[in-house]
Amino acid sequence: MEGGYSQVKIFVTGGAGYIGSHVVKALGEQGHDVLVYDNLVTGNRWAVLYGSLVEADLADRKTLVEILRQFKPDAVMHFAASIVVPESVAHPVKYYFNNTACTAGLIKAMLECGVGKLIFSSTAAVYGTSGVPPIKETAPLAPINPYGTSKMMSEVILKDTALAHDDFRYVSLRYFNVAGADGQARIGQAYKEATHLITRALKTAKGEMERLDIYGTDYPTPDGTCIRDYIHVEDLAGAHALALDYLASGGASEVFNLGYGHGFSVREVVSAVRKITGIGFSVAEAGRREGDPPELVAANEKIKAVLGWKPLRDDLDHIIRTAWRWEMKLGGK
Ligand code: UDP
């Protein structure tokens, strides 16, 4: 495995989900041997373009350990999680169980099976309202919703595990707002209930939703709506392959932000979606959604310097265009 691009075996939890499936695609294209472990609650069998799929739950310890022992992966990538901020406010225990407890369970199984490298999907939500944007990795962690707290707690477990076990190293990638779809429109967001802004705007343009609500127009931002750093899912996927190489060549445990370093307000996203689709769908100003920080924008110098990550698709129009192509195709899935 040392030295980069030779074939490695990667165990991917949540690999049938939106982000996981794009990473599986990237790993498959590089010729790696991928095994996806997914309960298909939010994931889809058709989204797994490479490797094989085991349909099982992370909470099913027996199956998890059995599959890890059989497959003997060089590394694990852990995407399986619940990710909807407002849902986490309403159902915190679901988030602490699915995200924090299941991450602890996965780490425990990895230690038992002698698997010592993990790439973890973390989130900008760990920062909450701390720090001045662009937010550096060193900013204090102060999540303002259970989703962010569940991921922050997972990071604490990872850190302590790596301190205690020399043969366990990890990279935690703090995603900002992941959007867009496969350039060939084979995979993309396909949640039963769309909650993310770009997808909801596209579904409104498509006529699936009557109107798009803007959640809060009185934030301390230039136009009063929240600002997010939207990153194309394929650029995000590329960072995972780099993180794998980094760990394979002996890199120490690290945490990296993954975003473009600049953001767009909800109103700017709405204008861009109207422009790209050519559809002037209706928009209404609504109250704030619980748990939303006003601005989340990444400082991304660290991942560029240490992993050599390059943003190749830093273009909101491109993000929306790929998501729109995918959305138009999605009816057939
Ligand atoms: N948002 C909105 N209307 C929607 C969905 C989202 O105004 O129908 C806002 C949301 O309040 C937040 C931003 O868009 O300020 C991004 O939300 P999203 O759910 O896409 O991602 P999050 O930042 O919560 O991970």
Local confidence pLDDT in tens for the 333 residues of the chain: 444 457 899 999 999 999 999 999 999 999 999 999 999 999 999 999 999 999 999 999 999 999 999 999 999 999 999 999 999 999 999 999 999 999 999 999 999 999 999 999 999 999 988 778 999 999 999 999 999 999 999 999 999 999 999 999 999 999 999 999 999 999 999 988 899 999 999 999 999 999 999 999 999 999 999 999 999 999 999 999 999 999 999 999 999 999 999 999 999 999 999 999 999 999 999 999 988 999 999 999 999 999 999 999 999 999 999 999 999 998 656
What does residue 174 show for φ and ψ, rounded to 5 degrees?
-90, 100
- At 111, which CATH number? 3.40.50.720
Structural domain range at position 109 = 9-179+230-259
The domain total for the chain is 1
Residue of the CA atom closest to atom 11 of ligand 1:
215
- Cα 5 to ligand 1 centre (Å): 37
Active site residues: 147
**Residue 23 covered by a domain:** yes
**Residue 292 covered by a domain:** no
- Cα 197 to ligand 1 centre (Å): 5
Who contacts 214 (Cβ-Cβ below 8 Å, separation ≥6)?
Answer: 225, 266, 267, 270, 283, 284, 285, 286
**Residue 29 covered by a domain:** yes
Q: Which atom of ligand 1 is nearest to the CA of 226?
A: 15
**Residue 189 covered by a domain:** no
Nearest-10 Cα torsion for 60, 44, 19, 255: 0
